[in-house]
């Protein structure tokens, strides 16, 4: 049974982004609370500064994830959401300063806050982009077809990654990804049907392979053998040979 989407079931890129966002939130909050910038050291106690910056920094950082949480794919819509959030947050900070410090709202201060918040959002987005470059498998998984992503939810999170191959073992399937392998209780025919639109192929009654994971081909005793990226060798049955040949594997 698959649970409904939640923060615990975000794409890998979003999960890494949330971890990074939390780290940035905590680090910047501690630095600002201890240093007391913008006069907060003169007006607030240490506990007060922690509370103040916890709210301000947290709201700034998490605004970076608003388009993802709202599932806004269009770039213009994402930009509009970020700008609307930055405007709202700037107004919130102005009113917070009025309540905490008694500082009257001013357009100059509002525009300064708006620019600062936009810079923070862009920095967090940049950090997430860097994480994607360091961990390309995470980005590949996010761009996977819906059927592949749905299938991968059946295996433990630690083993979720681009598929390499699937092998039937009695009533179980050995699912091999770039991050390891795991056994799941599922019929091979059901898995093949679910992955029909994925970039893969059934090459044997017990084997499904990802086309991108094939690294070589050889013949042994009149049989075709595919060499996979995990080092394993997968046989190609006679009935599936035409499809494998059409895919350029032989």
User: For a pLDDT cut of 90, what percent of the chain falls above it?
Assistant: 29
Please indicate, yes or no, if residue 214 is contained in any of the structural domains: yes
**Which conformational region is residue 168 in: left (phi greater than 0), alpha (psi within -120 to 50 degrees), or beta?**
beta
* Same domain, residue pair 202 and 230: yes
The answer to whether the CB of 222 falls within 8 A of the CB of 211 is: no
Q: Is it the case that residue 219 has pLDDT exceeding 90? A: yes
The answer to whether the CB of 61 falls within 8 A of the CB of 25 is: yes
Q: Is it the case that residue 158 has pLDDT exceeding 70? A: yes
Which of the two residues, 44 and 243, has the higher pLDDT score? 243
What pLDDT does 156 receive? Answer: 87
Phi (first) and psi of residue 59, to 5 degrees: -65, -35
Q: How many domains would you assign to the chain?
A: 2
* Same domain, residue pair 72 and 126: yes
Q: Is it the case that residue 143 has pLDDT exceeding 80? A: no
* Same domain, residue pair 62 and 23: yes
What pLDDT does 64 receive? Answer: 63
Q: Is it the case that residue 202 has pLDDT exceeding 80? A: yes
What pLDDT does 23 receive? Answer: 80
d(CA 219, CA 241): 12
Which of the two residues, 76 and 195, has the higher pLDDT score? 195
pTM beyond 0.75: the answer is: no
Task: Output the average pLDDT for the chain.
Answer: 77
Beta bridge partners of 168: 173
Grade residue 95 by pLDDT with cuts at 50, 70 and 90: confident
* Same domain, residue pair 18 and 91: yes
Q: Which of 85, 109, 140 is the last residue of a domain?
A: 140
* Same domain, residue pair 39 and 54: yes
pLDDT digits (tens, 9 = 90+) for 5-26: 333 334 444 555 567 677 878 8
Q: What is the 3-state secondary structure (H, E, C) of the chain?
A: CCCCCCHHHCCHHHHHHHHHHHHHHHHHHHHHHHHCCCCHHHHCCHHHHHHHHHHHHHHHHHHHHHHHHCCCCCHHHHHHHHHHHHHHHHHHHHHHHHHHHCCCCCHHHHHHHHHHHHHHHHHHHHHHHHHHHHCHHHHHHHCCCHHHHHHHCCCCHHHCCCEEEEEEECCEEEEEECCEEEEEECCHHHHHHHCCCCCEEEEECCEEEEHHHEEEEEEECCEEEEEECCCCEEEECCCCHHHHHHCCCC
* Same domain, residue pair 166 and 42: no
CA distances 165 to 136, 180, 203, 225, 246, Å, are 19, 11, 10, 14, 19
* Same domain, residue pair 128 and 152: no
The answer to whether the CB of 173 falls within 8 A of the CB of 183 is: yes
Q: Which of 140, 158, 175 is the last residue of a domain?
A: 140
What pLDDT does 246 receive? Answer: 92
Phi (first) and psi of residue 82, to 5 degrees: -60, -45
What pLDDT does 224 receive? Answer: 95
Q: Which residue range(s) make up the domain with 107?
A: 7-140
Q: Is it the case that residue 141 has pLDDT exceeding 80? A: no
* Same domain, residue pair 177 and 106: no
Token pair 């959401």 is found at 81
* Same domain, residue pair 19 and 128: yes
Beta bridge partners of 50: none
The answer to whether the CB of 141 falls within 8 A of the CB of 149 is: yes
* Same domain, residue pair 132 and 42: yes
d(CA 144, CA 199): 9
């Amino acid at each position: 049974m698959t649970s409904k989407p939640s923060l615990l079931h975000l794409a890998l890129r979003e999960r890494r982004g949330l971890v990074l966002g939390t780290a940035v939130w905590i680090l910047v909050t501690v630095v600002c609370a201890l240093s007391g910038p913008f006069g907060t050291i003169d007006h607030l106690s240490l506990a007060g500064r922690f509370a103040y910056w916890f709210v301000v920094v947290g709201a700034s950082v998490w605004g970076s994830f608003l388009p993802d949480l709202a599932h806004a794919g269009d770039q213009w819509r994402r930009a509009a959401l970020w700008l609307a959030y930055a405007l709202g947050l700037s107004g919130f900070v102005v009113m917070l300063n009025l309540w905490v410090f008694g500082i009257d709202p001013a357009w100059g201060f509002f525009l300064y806050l708006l620019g600062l918040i936009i810079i923070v959002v862009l920095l967090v987005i940049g950090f997430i982009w860097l994480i994607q470059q360091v961990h390309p498998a995470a980005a590949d998984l996010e761009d996977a077809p819906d059927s592949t992503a749905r299938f991968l939810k059946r295996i433990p999170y630690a083993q979720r990654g681009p598929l390499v191959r699937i092998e039937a073992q009695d009533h179980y399937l050995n699912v091999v990804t770039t991050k390891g392998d795991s056994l799941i209780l599922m019929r091979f025919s059901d898995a093949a049907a679910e992955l029909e639109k994925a970039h893969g192929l059934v090459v044997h009654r017990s084997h499904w392979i990802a086309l991108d994971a094939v690294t070589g081909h050889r013949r042994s005793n009149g049989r075709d053998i595919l060499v996979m990226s995990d080092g394993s060798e997968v046989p190609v049955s006679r009935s599936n040979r035409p499809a494998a040949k059409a895919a350029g594997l032989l």
